[in-house]
Amino acid sequence: MRSAASPDTGPEETNRERAVRIAIERAAERLAMADMEIRARLLELPNPTPDGELRVEAFGRDVLLAPPYTGAVYADSGVAADPVDHLLVLHYLLYEGSVDTEGDPVSFRELPGGQFYWEAFRARTVLPLISSVGNRLEALREQLGRFDCGPSPVGDIGARVRCIGKLGVSLAYHAGDDEFPPSAELFFDAAVRRVFTTEDAAAMAQRLCALLIEGSYGA
């Protein structure tokens, strides 16, 4: 029986890693048939290079992809992009239209099927964030400074973070007091309903919260 981390193959994939890898392969195959100059123009992205390389922002970092799009790297380091970033960028590029970020933000509950997965969504996004941040608002502000974000009017800390291309997620974070614990809510640009599936929207929010948690929230 092969060990879980044999020296020739490395660690075995988890079910989730395998699912993401297969989704990347399928999305890349579809994208290879698209006219990327037209797609880049519609999505207001830089024009592809002569060899077809594309540049898309993902959580404050530029991701570079070139045909056949099964690989992606961060422009600032040349390191392979996180598979979730890669997949979300591919799905963003597969959207056949322009992305209008106007309109009232929507909650996860308002997305197709979102009501049924509301508690699971919170368990993977805002609840871990609240547990890590607590009332350390300055630490959260510092972490938000890593991203391309602007102010949002809701919460003790309110910020709209550009996550994938032009799509953003808004965070409303409320500090706790003697009566109420800290709380947080996430809202999506209305365009997310056209560009992404509900699963993609959840993955985008989960990835943002994970990146915010990566900061030092020690006592």
pLDDT tens, per residue, the chain with 219 residues: 333 343 444 568 899 999 999 999 999 999 999 999 999 999 999 999 999 999 999 999 999 999 999 999 999 999 999 999 999 999 999 999 999 888 899 999 999 999 999 999 999 999 999 999 999 999 999 999 999 999 888 889 999 999 999 999 999 999 998 889 999 999 999 999 999 999 999 999 999 999 999 864 443
Angle, in degrees to the nearest 10, between helices 126-133 and 137-144: 120
CA-nearest of 66, 70, 67 to 86 is 70
How many other CB atoms are there within 10 angstroms of residue 181's CB atom?
Answer: 11
What sign results for the dihedral spanned by CA atoms 115, 116, 117, 122? positive
In this prediction, residue 217 carries a pLDDT of 41
For residue 25, the number of C-alpha atoms closer than 13 Å in the C-beta half-sphere is 6
Contact present, 165 and 147 (Cβ < 8 Å):
no
pTM: 0.90
Give the residues across from 158 on adjacent strands. Answer: 172
Name the burial class of residue 180, with classes exposed (0-12), middle (13-18) and buried (19+) by CB atoms within 10 angstroms of its CB. exposed
For residue 213, the number of C-alpha atoms closer than 13 Å in the C-beta half-sphere is 15
User: Is 93 strand, coil or helix?
Assistant: helix
In this prediction, residue 94 carries a pLDDT of 96
Q: Which domains does the chain have, with CATH numbers?
A: 5-93 (no CATH), 108-213 (3.30.310)
